[in-house]
């Protein structure tokens, strides 16, 4: 096989979208796997909708995710001369023509077609009259009665009759070329071997193939990736889902976890493995395993994957990641020293699904005066009434006061012995202590909390619990 060359060609008309990342990722994986090259270009011919700030967001977003490229950045807006040169070739060879039809003329024709029950499509005789003066657009001349066939690497053989395609505009003027045409010129000039893009691009493919043929250029291979869908199977939209990569990263989704999740949107290995490093993805990725059907964007799955990645971080690494969130929430996380912070964080790591949950999970550790409703102490199933809770807290004070050292092991030993002695269920003693220590219904386990808080703070909190129960 000759050199593999793919492209990442976003239009900078919005913030970096998860769909763009999924497509970029598949291109990246395919190129890396086959030791190929990745070309990056901005398709910014739409001057009104293309914005510098979107370009910056897309570039920095891909960089943060670790998706690099080998060549570029190219800008279509800076390549007008190149497009013009090839337009002249097409005009000269009669493969495209200047169309001078005015709006009124086109409208009239349309009405006639509708009246005669014909499908409305462009037809004119401008190609026979190229010397007419005035404004014109450039139309590609579509040959009739021809099948356009391509072998899509995902969808298989696709066939469409050229009779379904009317002569289409490829430039609004000699210096205003349009998307379908620019893409072909770029992909040719940039020697692209594989065009891997979203399924929404498939309707453009026959037109693009005709342009390749008009120039006698080699046609690259196409692979159209399945659409990304909302939970209700509609096309992924901003309205129903978060779609900007910034929004996910700000919310504390880890870049690696997001990539792992996006890789699974439309692809899997035969063994249904779900957790991959980027290197493993490169090893395993194969266009053959890309699905034809749409892929549902399931945020719950994303959180599940993200939780796994958080658990796999060392607590030191996680510390650096959560500090900005704690600062923003005004949590004085160094109040009891570094060691306390590390242990507190470690105790919540298991339950953290995204970094933005850190303030909520950690706040109670640093609160001076806990305040919570008394009914937090009650737990019907475990047989905890307020009276049981009071007794439990008093027993806890005794047990802890007498311990020489407060560790998970020593506290577990005395409290378990106490449970036996009282003939209670575990929860009757442990639930109230845990509530008093955390002021929360859900928190890390009681022995872990006792060790983290140490004797003084633990006793202070348990006493406060008794006040609340009084």
Interface contacts to ligand GLU, rule CB under 6 A: 9-11, 43, 183, 197, 201
Q: Omega before 73 cis (within 30°)?
A: yes
* Shorter beta-carbon distance to ligand GLU: residue 143 or 203: 203
Distance CA 351, CA 425 (A): 25
3-state SS, residue 203 = helix
Containing H/E element for 310?
helix 299-312
Residue 203 CB, nearest distance to ligand GLU (Å)?
Answer: 11
Nearest to 121 by CA among 135, 134, 139: 139
Q: Encoding tokens for residue 243?
A: 């779609």
Residue with smaller CB distance to ligand GLU, 43 or 152: 43
Query: Of these residues, 108, 238, 327, 328, which one is catalytic?
Result: 238
Partners of 201 in the beta sheet?
none
Q: Contact, 291 vs 155, CB < 8 A?
A: no
In the complex with ligand GLU, which residue's Cβ is closer, 25 or 361? 25
Q: How far is the CB of 271 from ligand GLU (least distance, A)?
A: 31
Strand 194-198, strand 221-225: pairing: parallel
| Cα separations in angstroms, 200 against 22, 169, 225, 258, 393 | 14, 19, 9, 23, 63
Rounded CA separation 345/324 (Å): 14
Q: Is the dihedral of CA 399, 403, 405, 408 positive or negative?
A: negative
Dihedral of the CA atoms 342, 344, 345, 348 (nearest 10)? 150
- Give least dist CB 240 to ligand GLU, A: 20
Q: Which is nearer to ligand GLU, 9 or 307 (CB)?
A: 9
Q: Smallest gap, in angstroms, from Cβ of residue 43 to ligand GLU?
A: 4
Q: Between 9 and 465, whose beta carbon lies closer to ligand GLU?
A: 9
**What is the CB-side half-sphere exposure of residue 136 using CA atoms within 13 A?**
19
Sign of CA dihedral 25, 27, 30, 36: negative
> Greatest CA span in the chain, whole angstroms?
106
Cα 81 from Cα 173, distance rounded (Å): 12
DSSP for 149-195?
A: EEEETTTEEEEEEGGG---EEEESSTT-B-HHHHHHHHHHHTT--EE
> Which of residues 50 and 411 has its CB atom nearest to ligand GLU in the complex?
50
Minimal distance, residue 198 CB to ligand GLU, in Å:
7
At closest approach, how far in Å is the CB of 188 from ligand GLU? 13
Complex with ligand GLU: residue 32 or 197, whichever CB lies closer:
197
What minimum distance in Å lies between the beta carbon of 234 and ligand GLU? 19
Q: How far is the CB of 246 from ligand GLU (least distance, A)?
A: 17
Q: How far apart are CA 224 and CA 200, in angstroms?
A: 8
Strand partners, 138: 98, 171
Instruction: Please report how many Cα atoms fall inside a 13 Å half-sphere around the Cα of residue 39, on the Cβ side.
Output: 24
238 as an active site residue: the answer is yes
Nearer to ligand GLU, 21 or 450 (CB): 21
Q: Which residues are catalytic?
A: 238
């Amino acid at each position: 096989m000759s050199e593999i060359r793919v492209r990442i060609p976003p239009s900078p008309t919005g913030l970096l979208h998860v769909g763009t990342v999924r497509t970029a990722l598949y291109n990246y994986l395919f190129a890396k796997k086959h030791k190929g090259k990745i070309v990056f270009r901005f398709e910014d011919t739409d001057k009104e909708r293309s914005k510098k700030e979107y370009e910056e967001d897309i570039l920095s977003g891909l960089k943060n995710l670790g998706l690099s490229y080998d060549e570029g950045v190219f800008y279509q807006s800076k390549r007008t001369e190149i497009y013009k040169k090839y337009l002249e070739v097409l005009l000269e060879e009669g493969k495209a023509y200047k169309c001078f039809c005015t709006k009124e003329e086109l409208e009239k024709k349309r009405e006639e077609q509708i009246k005669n029950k014909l499908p409305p499509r462009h037809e004119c005789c401008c190609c026979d009259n190229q010397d007419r003066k005035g404004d014109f657009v450039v139309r590609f001349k579509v040959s009739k009665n021809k099948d356009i066939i391509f072998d899509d690497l995902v969808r298989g053989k696709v066939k469409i009759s050229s009779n379904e395609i009317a002569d289409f505009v490829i430039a609004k003027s000699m210096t205003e070329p349009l998307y379908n045409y620019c893409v072909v010129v770029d992909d040719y000039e940039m020697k692209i071997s594989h065009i891997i893009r979203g399924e929404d691009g498939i309707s453009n493919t026959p037109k693009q193939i005709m342009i390749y043929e008009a120039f006698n250029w080699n046609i690259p291979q196409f692979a159209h990736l399945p659409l990304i869908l909302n939970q209700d199977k509609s096309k992924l939209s901003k309205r129903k889902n978060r779609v900007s990569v910034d929004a996910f990263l700000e919310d504390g989704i880890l870049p690696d976890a997001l990539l792992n999740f996006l890789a699974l949107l439309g692809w899997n290995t035969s063994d249904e493995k779900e957790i991959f490093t980027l290197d493993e993805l490169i090893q395993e990725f194969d266009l053959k395993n890309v699905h034809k059907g749409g892929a549902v964007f399931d945020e719950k799955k994303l959180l599940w994957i993200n939780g796994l990645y958080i658990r796999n971080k060392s607590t030191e690494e996680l510390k650096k990641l959560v500090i900005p969130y704690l600062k923003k929430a005004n949590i004085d996380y160094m109040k009891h020293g570094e060691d306390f912070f590390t242990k507190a964080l470690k105790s919540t790591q298991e339950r953290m699904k995204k970094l933005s949950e850190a303030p909520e999970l950690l706040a109670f550790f640093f609160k001076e005066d806990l305040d919570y409703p008394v009914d937090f102490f009650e737990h019907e199933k475990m047989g905890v009434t307020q009276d049981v809770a009071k007794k439990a807290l008093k027993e806890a004070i005794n047990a802890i006061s007498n311990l020489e050292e407060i560790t998970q092991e020593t506290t577990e030993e005395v409290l378990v012995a106490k449970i036996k002695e009282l003939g209670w269920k575990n929860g009757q003693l442990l639930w109230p202590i845990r509530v008093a220590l955390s002021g929360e219904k859900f928190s890390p386990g009681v022995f872990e909390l006792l060790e983290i808080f140490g004797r003084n703070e633990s006793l202070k909190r348990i006493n406060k619990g008794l006040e609340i129960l009084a």
